[in-house]
Structure 1
Amino acid sequence: MKLSIRDYQGVSFSFDVLALYCNRLLIQFGFGVVGIFEVIFLFNQFDSNIPLVALIYASIFLLSVILTPFGAMLISLFGMKRLMILSIPFAFCSILSLFLWDLNPLLALFGLIFSTVIYKTLYWVPYHVDFAKFSDKKTRGRQLSILLAVSEIVTIITPLIGGAIITASGYSNLFIVSLGILLFAVIPLFFIQEKYETFSYSYWETYTELFSKKNRSLLLGYTGDGAQSGVTLLVWPIFIFMLLRGEYLVVGAISSITILALLVLRFVVGDLVDRWSRKKVLTIGTLLNTTGWLVKVFIETGFQIFIIDTYHGLGKVVNQMSVDVTTYNQATDNGHYIDEFTVLKEMAVNAGKTLILLVVGVVIFFYSLKVAFVIAAVASLFVTLLNKEMMVGEKKLIVPEGVRQ
């Protein structure tokens, strides 16, 4: 199929989408310069103890699973806009904890875990619900292509910037740069509309819905997506850092070049998501993503990192784009239950990250770090379950294709 600029001429954005995504980009830039180097920082601080680092991140995601329903309950009291605004100081404090690490490592670790969990609890459900409400379903794939292309530009430059700063002046200055950017992230949120939702589940009812048979596709699909994200978060940065013998600038440069090679694919995939069936795109993406994980087992050099990660990136682009569009479509299709769907999805994703990190933390005692790539490949297969229509609330949990609430 031939891709044309004309395919994107009918795509427009509401002011709320632009303001919301501007906030997202600032947060992404602030966290992005630290990015993969945060895991490496903790890896070095704990004397290359991968199981301990895995346990730290697993605790963050487990606490997120526990607290996410409480965060959703606050939406009816404060509104989504105010909750996101309240989350930004905690994002700031998570990086501040790293900056102050040498003063008291134990206290800084507690601050990192606490601040990150509260930020995630207050921010992500309102963000996803707002984006689902503000974006246009008919062109959502192409909207996401354009926005994610801009996001990719940030993603391209931040590893290189981070690696350069660490090489030139160390981690402290890196954290200062990150903190400076995060200070401005709250500003765009003041310009979006305030939205309220009433979370319909009680705390324990949320878990009943999450683990119910009728929501099994949602649970397994997003748990699989979270599991492979957990490997990307923890194992991949440590793996390439060890392979490249601690060269921070090279780690950042290879990461940036790989992402640059994938930038144009955002537009191609976004057009396919809008034109092809969700099932077709998600299935192709999962196939590419799964084989990409398996091929990573054979990486031995820096050049192979670039070639194989670019191939895997192709699968991740197709997979993540289709998952994102599927998620926002599923959310809006749930009407009044849009926040309930989003909460269940976020809990499943964080549960997947928790499980994979605990498994990796144990398996690493007996096998090579590369075994995590095989586990991620298996987990990625579960993402195809998101092809199934999912409706939450009042016995409308599974609806045939084409039927809308």
Structure 2
Amino acid sequence: MPFFSNKQLNYLNAHYGLRAMGWEMCSMFTLAYLYKQGLSLKLTLLVYAAVLFSRTLTRPLAMLCCLKKGVHWTLTVGTFAFAMRYPAMLPIDGLTWHLIPFIVVSGLADVLYWVSYHNYFASIGDEADRGSSVGVRDAIATVVAVVGPLVGGILLSIDKFYAFTMPFVLTLVAVLPLLKTPSLPPPVPATREERKRVDHFGFVVFVGDGLFYQAGSIWPLIVFMLLGESYQNFGFILALAAFFRAMGSMVFGRLIDKGKGRQICYIGYGMHIAILTVRGFFAYSVPAVIACDFFAAIAYCFSMTGLMTAVYNATKRASHPLYFTYYTELGWDVGAVSSMLLAALIVGLGFDVRWGLGLSVAGAVLSVATLARWYTRERKRRRAGTSAAA
């Protein structure tokens, strides 16, 4: 497999795996933790909307850091900031001022990390093996995600201090592989013409993904309540879903490299829409939850690999890759914040929180429609290149 010969990418994947291990120990527990700490369901959703909105407010800082200090420097600092979000969760106890540091640090960590990470991954990867590379990375992340929720659930059941200290330490350790990756020259600011001509594909597809992913995060909260608010049982269900997901990422990545990206997106998002419908109307027992998570994990192998392969290739081809990433991530903020605000409105109006899963369906529809157009355009571009070479 030629993509394993890229040592820079291997170190970056090692970094990503360590950071993902810490994240998986806490990420799916976040809404459940806020709810368990005394916030109402509506306030839980509104607080997380505030976290996501703080990403938008601090996004210019991430761009400034990348331009002044470089993408690699920003990625390193973003990893340190990512670690700080875990101790910020420790003092949360209901609707108190302790939520403010959590909101600010989480938003800042997200924006510093993801703007630089996506741009860096796109810069050092090879376009010809992009699908396989994304598949390998996602396989690594999902393997550690099998262990993460199990450990996180057990530690939260024992003492939240240990539950947040371990991901804090793991994320700090994730800085070490970055020391083996090269720095890139600081990019020049985007010109007015480059900003004007930026491809809107990334923004639109990430609006869809923000809606799809963040509204979909309501499901783990529903499962948590269904399991009697037990962190340990909840962690087991999350780990089982991650195990299912880990089995397919590399296979589907190779299929994308062979030109099957559009078909993979149709299958993945089509499955997601069907599963979200079943979750909303029929999944009221543990066996039903496990069945839904099994098929959702398979769908994830299709959809995420198809999505990120397209985004990374579009980033590398952009006239100003950093600005393209900045603009694309802004789309995710729009979708994610909207999903949490609308979900809070649904709950506030007295409807079952499961109706919020409909927002995730809307995001999936927008994502797959946008990706289908991109992969169709990509196929035409490849054919034109082949004809010109002949």
For the Cα contact (< 8 Å) 1:228–1:376, is it kept in 2?
yes
Give the AA of the match of 1:52.
L
The residue matched to 1:106 in structure 2 has which SS? coil
| 1:386 equivalent in alignment to 2:371 | yes
CA-to-partner distance for each residue in 1:171-216, whole Å, 9 max, x for gaps? 12211222222221222222211112123157xx96x878xxx72x
CA–CA separation in structure 2 for the residues paired with 1:109 and 1:140 = 39
CA-to-partner distance for each residue in 1:272-305, whole Å, 9 max, x for gaps? 2112332222222221121121111110101111
Map 1:8-87 → 2, pairs under 5 A: 9-47=1-39, 49-87=40-78
CA–CA separation in structure 2 for the residues paired with 1:224 and 1:274 = 23
Displacement, 1:128? 0.8
| 1:238 equivalent in alignment to 2:224 | no
CA, structure 1 residues 74+274, in 2 after alignment: closer, same or farther (shift >3 Å)? same
Size of the alignment, in residue pairs? Answer: 378
Structure 1 counterpart of 2:160, from 137, 151, 171: 171
Where does residue 153 of structure 1 map in the other structure? 143
CA, structure 1 residues 342+13, in 2 after alignment: closer, same or farther (shift >3 Å)? farther
Displacement, 1:170? 2.2
CA, structure 1 residues 92+262, in 2 after alignment: closer, same or farther (shift >3 Å)? closer
Structure 1 segments, 4+ long, off by >4 Å, are: none
TM-score (norm 1): 0.86
The residue matched to 1:401 in structure 2 has which SS? helix
| 1:401 equivalent in alignment to 2:385 | no
CA–CA separation in structure 2 for the residues paired with 1:11 and 1:92 = 29
CA, structure 1 residues 160+344, in 2 after alignment: closer, same or farther (shift >3 Å)? same
Displacement, 1:400? 6.5
CA–CA separation in structure 1 for the residues paired with 2:156 and 2:233 = 11
CA–CA separation in structure 2 for the residues paired with 1:224 and 1:151 = 22
CA–CA separation in structure 2 for the residues paired with 1:378 and 1:139 = 31
Structure 2 counterpart of 1:265, from 225, 242, 248: 248
CA–CA separation in structure 2 for the residues paired with 1:326 and 1:284 = 16
For the Cα contact (< 8 Å) 2:269–2:364, is it kept in 1?
yes
| 1:339 equivalent in alignment to 2:325 | no
CA–CA separation in structure 1 for the residues paired with 2:56 and 2:191 = 15
Where does residue 313 of structure 1 map in the other structure? 297
| 1:183 equivalent in alignment to 2:163 | no
Give the AA of the match of 2:34.
L
CA, structure 1 residues 105+370, in 2 after alignment: closer, same or farther (shift >3 Å)? closer
CA-to-partner distance for each residue in 1:11-58, whole Å, 9 max, x for gaps? 3242221222222222111222122222211112234x1221111111
The residue matched to 1:191 in structure 2 has which SS? coil
The residue matched to 1:198 in structure 2 has which SS? coil
CA-to-partner distance for each residue in 1:284-339, whole Å, 9 max, x for gaps? 222112112111111010111110121122222211110010111111121x4111
Give the AA of the match of 2:92.
W
CA–CA separation in structure 2 for the residues paired with 1:18 and 1:108 = 38
Structure 2 counterpart of 1:114, from 101, 104, 108: 104
Displacement, 1:253? 0.8
Segments of structure 1 that go 5 or more residues without pairing to the other structure are 1-8, 391-397
Pick which of 17-26 and 109-118 moved more: 17-26
Where does residue 329 of structure 1 map in the other structure? 313
The residue matched to 1:364 in structure 2 has which SS? helix
CA, structure 1 residues 326+161, in 2 after alignment: closer, same or farther (shift >3 Å)? same
CA, structure 1 residues 389+267, in 2 after alignment: closer, same or farther (shift >3 Å)? closer
Displacement, 1:379? 1.8
For the Cα contact (< 8 Å) 1:88–1:186, is it kept in 2?
yes
The residue matched to 2:183 in structure 1 has which SS? coil
Map 1:126-137 → 2, pairs under 5 A: 126-137=116-127
For the Cα contact (< 8 Å) 1:13–1:143, is it kept in 2?
no
CA-to-partner distance for each residue in 1:146-169, whole Å, 9 max, x for gaps? 2221211111111111111222x2
RMSD across aligned positions (CA): 2.5
For the Cα contact (< 8 Å) 1:99–1:172, is it kept in 2?
yes
For the Cα contact (< 8 Å) 1:163–1:249, is it kept in 2?
yes
Where does residue 89 of structure 2 map in the other structure? 98
Determine what percentage of the aligned residue pairs are the same residue. Answer: 18
For the Cα contact (< 8 Å) 2:265–2:302, is it kept in 1?
yes
CA–CA separation in structure 1 for the residues paired with 2:355 and 2:172 = 39
Give the AA of the match of 1:23.
H
For the Cα contact (< 8 Å) 1:132–1:328, is it kept in 2?
yes
CA–CA separation in structure 2 for the residues paired with 1:325 and 1:171 = 37
Give the AA of the match of 2:43.
L
CA–CA separation in structure 2 for the residues paired with 1:201 and 1:112 = 35
The residue matched to 2:301 in structure 1 has which SS? helix
CA–CA separation in structure 2 for the residues paired with 1:190 and 1:124 = 18
CA-to-partner distance for each residue in 1:126-160, whole Å, 9 max, x for gaps? 11111111111111211222222121111111111
Map 1:216-231 → 2, pairs under 5 A: 217-231=201-215
| 1:276 equivalent in alignment to 2:239 | no
